[in-house]
Copies of this chain bind each other. A is one copy, B any other.
């Protein structure tokens, strides 16, 4: 993509009413647009970044046997009344609306009820289990306040997977697999080191649920971390009994602030009982299906990364998230040799399947480099008069700021990207 064609531009200032650092940065860099508090539209760069996050999550969900679906946002009141979650006193984040005939509808905040109901069409025998539908779907949550940018939106993209298992054993095996899958995701997205599997309250069917907590001084949560064992405990269940149960020692635990970037939860038979989801076992006895839910908020994750991995100059994306593989920046578009070399590099890289944002604007070098820092693409290539003279191209890693000088031919071959 030539930057002269990209319709967004960087901005010096975010809107005055935007309090969160993640949204300020993402708005200034042209990734998102604020529609109202807690509601953001994705602009070309932002959509590319979130689609990259989606791709990593999808690959890991498919690996554990997930089957992708996409459910509706509009929700049927009747289903939610069966679990007593229609009432605003019980679930206090509903957006509600109604049909022309007056029937009330809700906007989905999560999908246990409609999915459990849906699965009644497809689960009747032990042969139908286990099974793991998941989706990337827009959720709506009527938050009283929405001051955390895309980290706590009123409308946001979420990956939610639900497990349907025959018994506790089968459920637990999958639950453990998902812990690994989630850590794979966070590792691939470049935040594995700072992210901890965290014991959290379990509800009525399990001692614990598990959160994936990303350490951050601006996090809303408090957790206690054993850094050697790579394990954490949420403040809400941080007791001597739990420490003992988990074989952890109080003196090794460090208090940290953190952001929840994922969670997994054993639901037991709460929804399958209420909505009558049963199966016959091999001896023809009827049993209730055991369920689990596994969520990752993609906006939350993108916001947490934007806010915490950025530096003073702007956003810093890992390679897997970066909206483009390479930001190709020319310095001196009045020099025809510079333009020709940059055009050649742009074409060669594109032909090799490398995604390039090409800053071909006739703008001051300082401004171009500052914009490039702000946008935060993982690798930057700079071509100027010196490049043409030396035949070596400057390649900069956005995160480490490490500079390499690489012969033109190697850059055009695209091999330098893998060699990093």
A-side residues, CB < 8 A to B, are: 5-9, 11, 33, 35-36, 39-44, 47, 65, 67-76, 95-100, 105, 107, 114, 118-119, 121-123, 128, 131, 133, 138, 140, 142-144, 154-155
- Which residues of B have CB within 8 Å of A74? 35-36, 39, 95, 140, 154-155
- Please pick, from B73, B98, B99, B121, the residue contacting A138 in the complex, using a CB distance under 8 A: B73
Given A47-B69, A47-B70, A70-B47, A7 contacting B122 (CB threshold 8 A):
yes
- Please pick, from B42, B72, B128, B143, the residue contacting A7 in the complex, using a CB distance under 8 A: B128
B43 x A7 contact (CB < 8 A): no
Per assembly, the copies of the chain total 2
Give Cα A80–Cα B342 distance, bound, in whole angstroms: 45
- Which residues of B have CB within 8 Å of A131? 7
B39 x A67 contact (CB < 8 A): no
Task: Find the B residue at minimum CB distance from A156.
Answer: B72
A-B contact list, 13 entries, CB within 8 Å: A35-B71, A35-B76, A39-B74, A41-B70, A42-B69, A42-B71, A44-B69, A73-B140, A74-B154, A97-B97, A99-B142, A99-B154, A100-B142
Give Cα A97–Cα B35 distance, bound, in whole angstroms: 16
A44 x B68 contact (CB < 8 A): yes
A100 x B70 contact (CB < 8 A): no
Give Cα A122–Cα B138 distance, bound, in whole angstroms: 26
Give Cα A71–Cα B155 distance, bound, in whole angstroms: 11
Given A41-B70, A42-B69, A36 contacting B118 (CB threshold 8 A):
no
